Amino acid sequence: MSSIPPDQRLADVRHNLSVQGVDGFVLPRGDEFLGEYVAPYAERLAWLTGFTGSAGLALVLPDKAAVFSDGRYTEQLAEQVDKALWEKRHITQEPPSAWLSANARDLRIGYDPRLIGESGLQALQGDGYEFVALTDNPVDIAWSDRPAPPASTVQFHPERLSGERSADKRARIAALLKENGEQALIVGDPTCLAWLLNIRADDVPNTPVALAFGILHDTGDAEIFIDETRLSDAAKADFGAHVTVYPADSLEDRLRGLAGRRVRLDPQGVSAWFVQTLNDAGSSISRGADPSVLLKASKNVVEQEGARQAHLTDSAALCRFLHFVTLHGVGLRETELAERLDRFRAEDADYRGESFPAISGVGPNAALPHYRALPGKDRVLGPDTIYLIDSGGQYPAGTTDVTRTIWTGPELPPSAISEAFTRVLKGNIALSRARFPNGVTGHRLDVLARQYLWQAGLDYDHGTGHGIGSYLSVHEGPQNISAVARPVALQAGMIISNEPGYYEAGQYGIRLENLLLVRPASVGQSGRFLEFEVLGFAPFDRQLIDASLLLPDERAWLDSYHTETLRRIGPLLDPDTRAWLTTACAPLN
């Protein structure tokens, strides 16, 4: 990543801090857009510390430094971070604020207000030290061989895929702004900007967005801050006279032009720099969710049909892969298996790449819910072994995410594994079949997926479901299904994952995932109840199913699902794979 030695990087940053008149620095993993995925130019945490995980934070003091992440990355921290330079800390067991309170008394801690939001800054507050906003990032000054920012072409996402004109989306949100007495909205999330303006790009891995900010006015007119030469002709034509393009470095001037106006911003979605700049300009800040977050989460009929079509294509690729694993998988490494699945997906001309880095885990590695296989450090798939593959694809019509867990054989799996697998499957089925009144949040449904594991004293330590974008982020809010309550109710048109699991540390892991589309229920008074439509189609490994644990209605659901899988996916496969699928989807004995 850099020709500068790790110890020199840290020394250079400390020197820059001294020049800037502060004693320390806080460095989040995210970029100016506070997103999940960052482009190479913004991998500051990886450059400074060596840690490449997707969640983390570094704290630099004059005589010590620490890297924080969660339990997903304990082993990765140990492997990647030089213990001679950095302490390694668990971000929830020892919060950064506690570490600062113990080690930074009477110190001035610098931060880059473009890289952290108000809530993130508040979470770092503690006793005995002071935070100071810096104009220049000391890491950027030290990073002399830093990559250039991305400059992919911004493409128009046409109405046949988006289902709604940008002008109509902007008009809807402008009306909401007027109702609230707000004159402008800061659009800080690139996925919201992509949805609002019907654009897509390739600025970051896995998520087809342009890294740009926007301002929407209560007139419905909008501004986007990006190099105009990056815009395709179709995108420019759709912008017309009501979307003005400004260079990225003119953002501050345009924000200052909002002096005296009431400006809405999402404190969870924009950095503290926006708050500071607008306050300095004399704007009145209205804190609230960006309305486009909820609007883009509720897919229109065109996006819903696009999701169905994308899942048919993706499911066919997954079935070809599962068939391949049964024939040739034993002896291949985790990374080789993930690459093979990617190649199966790439056989379709509409495939635009993975929606997230595939989680390809053999045996004990499958017990790590967010495992990332690395070449040279990955396991070989052997006989009589659990293999978990969690992956997804990006297609212009939609975004996919699916997980299957299989047993390689030839021996039958141990009864404990079959029981755990079946209890996970029962939870997946229960959630798939759920019906619920309007207004129900995902938090209230979470127990449906866990109940059969709980009966055996088992559980899993992650959420059951997250939202999915429409050719956008594979992890989309605001809805979820989790033990952690969120106030957002599930609504018709939302797409959410259904992925219960079980993990026996050091031995094996199980996760079974399909995506679900929320739709009006076929029972009850019209519009009062909702249910789920399953989007993905691939068989559940019958070797791992303990049929004695399934109730008759669960068996009926599973047989029906497999029948539908064969009906929908079979015609898309070659004869050999179709024959395998016919056996894999046969009714349970």
SS3 325: helix
Maximum CA pair distance of the chain?
74
Q: How buried is residue 229: exposed, middle or buried, by Cβ count under 10 Å (0-12/13-18/19+)? A: exposed
DSSP 8-state code for residue 365: G
CB-CB contact of 216 with 184 (8 Å) = yes
Instruction: Give the total residue count for the chain.
Output: 589
pTM (2 d.p.): 0.95
Q: Three-state SS for 22?
A: coil
Q: List the one residue out of 66, 103, 110, 104 whose CA is nearest residue 88.
A: 66
Q: How far is CA 334 from CA 365, 384, 393, 514, in A?
A: 10, 16, 18, 22
Look at strands 262-265 and 284-287 and give their pairing: parallel
- Residue 428 near residue 498 (C-beta atoms within 8 A): yes
Would you give per-residue pLDDT tens digits along the chain (589 residues)? 578 899 999 999 999 999 999 999 999 999 999 988 899 999 999 999 999 888 899 999 999 999 999 877 777 888 899 999 999 999 988 899 999 999 999 999 999 999 999 989 999 999 999 999 999 999 999 999 999 999 999 999 999 999 999 999 999 999 999 999 999 999 999 999 999 999 999 999 999 999 999 999 999 999 999 999 999 999 999 999 999 999 999 999 999 999 999 999 999 889 999 999 999 999 999 999 999 999 999 999 999 999 999 999 999 999 999 999 999 999 999 999 999 999 999 999 999 999 999 999 999 999 998 888 989 989 999 999 999 999 999 999 999 999 999 999 999 999 999 999 999 999 999 999 999 999 999 999 999 999 999 999 999 989 999 999 999 999 999 999 999 888 999 999 999 999 999 999 999 999 999 999 999 998 877 779 999 999 999 999 999 999 999 999 999 999 999 999 999 999 999 999 999 999 999 999 8
The single-letter code of the amino acid at 190 is P
Nearest to 449 by CA among 467, 468, 462: 462
Q: Are 56 and 29 in contact (CB under 8 A)?
A: yes
Q: What's phi and psi for 390, nearest 5 deg?
A: -115, 115
What strands lie across the sheet with 107-111, from one edge to the other?
Answer: 87-90, 65-69, 57-60, 24-28, 107-111, 129-133
Q: Cα–chain-centroid distance for residue 561?
A: 27
Q: For the chain, which domains are there?
A: 6-142 (3.40.350.10), 155-294 (3.40.350.10), 298-584 (3.90.230.10)
Phi and psi of 293, rounded to 5°? Answer: -60, -50
Q: Which pair of structure tokens corresponds to residue 526? A: 């019209």
Residue in the structure block whose two tokens are 């909820």 = 294
